[in-house]
Structure 1
Amino acid sequence: MQALELKLPPLLLMLLFALAMWLLAPLTAPLSAQLALYTTVLALCLTITGIAVALAGVLAFSRANTTVDPRLPQQSASLVIVGIYRYSRNPMYLGFFLILTGYACYLQSLLALALLPLFVLYITRFQIKPEEHHLLQKFGYSVSGEATSLTSMV
């Protein structure tokens, strides 16, 4: 399974999951028309929040002059712990998750929603954990002196 670690760009992975959601959506009946407005508003709110969270992560990396390409954690110039990273260890992935959640709401599909845990499992196993391994090797400890743990999506 190590062959999949750090191979797919997370943005591409998010787009592949969105495509799978779109393909699965017609297999389930949409919610009632009365709920459509609410799910559309919820979808818009989640998507906008997801974009903002992901972009805040990119901006923090840019300000720290470190790579935003998560497939190359060994090229990280610094361990970013400011900005959005004070609240989330993985804001870009959290943003992608929120975007996908918004898309599933827009599609009004329970099958699309069912793909969300698979996205989290994949991104955790094949992206976050390998990144954490490289970052712990390179930076070792957080500024508080305790071993850094980056495994949670939030």
Structure 2
Amino acid sequence: MRIKIIPPLVMLIFAGAMYALAKLLPVGQFDFFGRKELAVGLLGLAILVMGLALFQFKRVKTTTNPIDLTKTSSLVTKGIFNYTRNPMYLAMLLILLAFGLKLGNAFNTLIAAGFVYYMNHFQIRFEEEALEKKYGKAYSLYKKNTRRWF
């Protein structure tokens, strides 16, 4: 597989870019009633989604390492994976959105969108190819019936 950067590090890089943008860009600041509560809610949802995904992986005793998918022991399609093929990446996106709300800079949504673009083109695409090779028709059906993000 061609993936070299682990997704949590990718998320941290994008979070760093969000922080830098919020501190260095003199425009784009915003505030609204409930902004902080919404950020906390998104973070809570991210923790829930991530926890459910990790529980599903642990339950079927398969790897969570997206760098080496040859170590996967089973295709997980139940639980949270019934609603999204990438709940851990969705959780990372929710964390970035919560962080963007905390920072209060509207342009951070562009960086969060950049995270989605990066993950789709440089992470998920290669994972899907590897899983398609390993699980064949079962994975193709899963892809057809379950959305990539939400």
TM-score by length of 1: 0.87
DSSP 3-state at the match of 1:110: coil
> In the alignment, is the contact (CA less than 8 A) between 2:83 and 2:147 conserved in 1?
no
2:47 aligned with 1:51 = yes
Partner of 1:96: 92
The sequence identity of aligned pairs, in percent, is 34
> In the alignment, is the contact (CA less than 8 A) between 1:53 and 1:91 conserved in 2?
yes
The one-letter amino acid paired with 2:37 is V
Taking only aligned residues, the RMSD between alpha carbons, in angstroms, comes to: 1.9
SS at 1:65's partner residue? coil
| Alpha-carbon separation, structure 2, partners of 1:125 and 1:90 | 14
Equivalent residue for 2:7? 10
Within 5 Å, which residues of 2 pair with 1:3-152? 5-26=2-23, 27=25, 28-32=27-31, 35=32, 37-142=33-138, 147-149=141-143, 152=148
What TM-score, normalized to structure 2?
A: 0.89
Amino acid at match of 2:12: L
Residues 30-74 of structure 1 show CA distances to partners (whole Å, capped at 9, x for unaligned) of: 224xx2x51111111011101211121111111111100111112
Unaligned residue ranges in structure 1 (runs of 5+) = none
The Cα of 1:151 is off from its aligned counterpart by 7.2
> 1:85-117: per-residue Cα shift (whole Å, max 9, x none)?
111110000000011011101111112111011
Gaps of 5+ in 2: none
Q: Which runs of 4+ in 1 moved over 6 A?
A: none
CA contact (8 A) 2:42 2:95 kept: yes
